[in-house]
Amino acid sequence: MIPVQGMQGLRVAVLGLGRSGLSAARALAAGGAEPICWDDNPLAREAAQAEGFACVELTRDGAFEGVARLVVSPGIPHLYPTPNRVVAAALDAGVPVDNDIGLFFQSFATSEWDEFDVAPRIIAVTGSNGKSTTSALIHHILEHAGRNSQLAGNIGRGVLDIEPAPSGGVVVLELSSYQTDLARSLTPDVAVFTNLSPDHLDRHAGKGGYFAAKRRLFAEGGPDRAVIGVDEAEGAFLAGQLSEGAVDDRVIRVSVDRKLTGPGWQVFARKGFLSEYRNGKQAASIDLRAVAGLPGAHNHQNACCAYAACRALGLAPKVIEAAFHSFGGLPHRSQTIGEKNGVRFVNDSKATNVDSAAKALQAFKNIRWICGGLEKEGGLDGLTDASSSVRKAYVIGREAAGFAMQLKVEAEVCTTMADAVARAIADAESGDVVLLAPAAASFDQYDSFEKRGDDFSQLVQAHIAKG
């Protein structure tokens, strides 16, 4: 646990008692603060009370008298589309609003570091797509290299649940826009921006607000190194804002669209090869085509970002390349479930928006595509160019018929996952890939994209197990 510093003897309100909220309450108490908690769910309140935390209804008059800070869980809106009523009450009372990420950055460094040979480092990863894979890959590379590494944030453990870092330790954080938007303290040593595509637009009042939330990690944090994907206008703009000029190697530009040139520091992938250039000269090259855990251009972008972050810490290219080959990938992200009769089954349930689904489609050929679910804003036109390898789509979800009508490929309305998998198996031929890449949220039929992916995987495994 990371005890919260700077709050000793102070009363701190905690709103939302899920994983991050309870973790924050524990860390506050460990640091000598007095947490008072609230969640609209009575079961969540009971769980907090069972741990000895006081629960106080934060909407009542005077609830924020004597409160030094309000700590809010990431799923609770603080500004758009409308502020949560407790957040609004705190702001009216002049109480600062924060989250567990802000508390972590405020508390991570301790006086014990004065005795360390090497100060611990933090690598923070944000962006629209690829955050989880990039974060997990960085963590894997560090462990492969024998470095003490912990993975936390939007993946792995809660940030305040990790252990205090030893000398030379590295913490790898995946941070969503919900987390970066509110944290009062953001001070990573290396910050990574993978890419930007429309997502969570209601929460940020549009794409500009969404980008602004991501940008805070760099503008507020002032990292020593910034790894920036520059294939979108926002990334190119951010790299330009952070750089003092063409030779400023504090910014490492990343691309999978083109070769990057110039006197700075660049990492790019073209035709399956990762290249590192510094001062206009090639420093390293890695063949990514044989890396089974990182298929497709979108994973090559993840590889470039992870490579650049690890190079910023001084790891050698050969060490990073070896770690790539032992990386197994993450569940629900271009995850191969198995193969039968020459047909490969791939679970990319994490492809919850059009951009991520398009990248999954571009990674394979001869696709039997299972898609559909709770459609997000912006429509499905972005899938058209990526659908050339799709032999047929099998559409699930409560609005499957409407979803299918928007696709530019042959589509069959299946509604349920079981029906979609059965129909895809019946149609598939040797050399085909049955790919779950929904391009939609899961909440019309499942509690999470993980549950959706697990359903697909179980159906596929049952098919493979048959004689």
| 356 assigned ligand-binding residue | no
CB 118 within 8 A of CB 167: yes
Q: Tokens for 306?
A: 């992870």
Query: Which H, E and C letters describe 320-344, residue by residue?
Result: HHHHHHCCCCCCCCCEEEEEECCEE
Compute the CA torsion angle 383, 386, 391, 392 (nearest 10 deg). -10
Query: Can you point out the beta strands (E) in 204-255?
Result: 225-229, 251-255
Q: Tokens for 46?
A: 């009971």
Nearest to 410 by CA among 376, 445, 355, 369: 369
Angle between helices 233-242 and 207-219 (to 10 degrees): 30
Is the previous residue joined to 81 through a cis bond, with omega within 30 degrees of 0?
yes
Cα separation, 214 vs 180, whole angstroms: 6
Q: How many Cβ atoms from other residues are within 10 Å of residue 250's Cβ?
A: 14
Cα separation, 170 vs 143, whole angstroms: 10
CB 193 within 8 A of CB 251: no
Strands 149-153, 170-174: parallel, antiparallel or unpaired by DSSP? parallel
Cα separation, 293 vs 327, whole angstroms: 6
| 130 assigned ligand-binding residue | yes
Compute the CA torsion angle 170, 176, 180, 183 (nearest 10 deg). -80
Distance of CA 339 to the CA centre of its chain: 28
Element holding 33 (H helix, E strand): none
| 129 assigned ligand-binding residue | yes
| 195 assigned ligand-binding residue | no
DSSP 269: E
| 271 assigned ligand-binding residue | no
CB 267 within 8 A of CB 304: yes
- The binding site consists of 127-133
- The binding site for ATP consists of 127-133
